[in-house]
Amino acid sequence: MKVGTDAVLLGAWVEVSGKKRILDIGTGSGIISLMLAQRSSANITGLDIHKDSVEDAILNFKNSQWATRLKAIQSSFQEYSANCSERYDLIVSNPPFFTNSLKSPKQLKNISKHNDLLPYQDLISGIRKIIATSGKYCIIVPENDAAFINNLSTENGLYCIRQLTISPKKSKPPSRVIMEFSISKPDAVNKEKISVRNDDNSYTSEYKLLTKDFYLDF
């Protein structure tokens, strides 16, 4: 299973305490769902539009020790959210994030990296429909999309309560932001920062501390 740093950071950072129903939008091979299953006792649904990705997730879920709490569904999020009667305590997404950029000739790579099939507007409005009253949603996006996501979420009645700004190296500017949202507006946003690697390319101590439960060589 190919595992990306974005997925690991999201799966390790999101708060899962007390969550009973979790939805993972754009689950791919299911890595985030598996991480959340390891960290909680929740029932988790992984959703993806791509058939091969769902088949991979189903196999990975079946071979895990949390198989009874995991399921994967093939569907667009637009269709799923329009017809879903479930209300989720936690919704997570590592969404496609290249907007209006050069496309790859490989269709699967396009689906995973471009948000043509799931625009941010559709993602946020759909989340608002299916999130529980006390629920949270957590998303990882490029740093230059963070303000737009925050404003769009606010327009849909979802407010940022916690934020992690991520730099690939200590000497480099931020490249990703993870944000956690709630229906309830906070008095202040809890803001954190992390660097993934030191300048010698070794992992930083803070990255190791956050993700230590998911690596064998830390």
Domains of the chain: 5-214 (3.40.50.150)
**H/E run at residue 85:** none
Q: pTM for this one?
A: 0.89
> Along the 218 residues of the chain, how does pLDDT read in single tens digits?
456 899 999 999 999 999 999 999 999 999 999 999 999 999 999 999 999 999 999 999 999 999 999 999 999 999 999 999 999 999 999 986 543 433 344 443 443 343 566 799 999 999 999 999 999 999 999 999 999 999 999 999 999 999 999 999 999 999 999 999 999 999 999 999 999 999 999 999 999 999 998 876 65
Note whether 139 and 161 are within 8 A (CB).
no
What pLDDT does residue 4 have? 84
Record the tokens describing residue 196, joined without a space.
């993934």
Give CA 218 to chain center in angstroms.
Answer: 23
- DSSP one-letter code for 51: H
Is 118 in contact with 78 (CB distance < 8 Å)?
Answer: yes
For 181, the token pair is 């949202």
pLDDT of residue 2: 53
What is the C-alpha to C-alpha distance for residues 208 and 153, in angstroms, rounded to an integer?
A: 31
pLDDT in the model for residue 115: 52
Write down the pLDDT at residue 100.
40
Cα distance between residue 158 and residue 188, in whole Å: 14
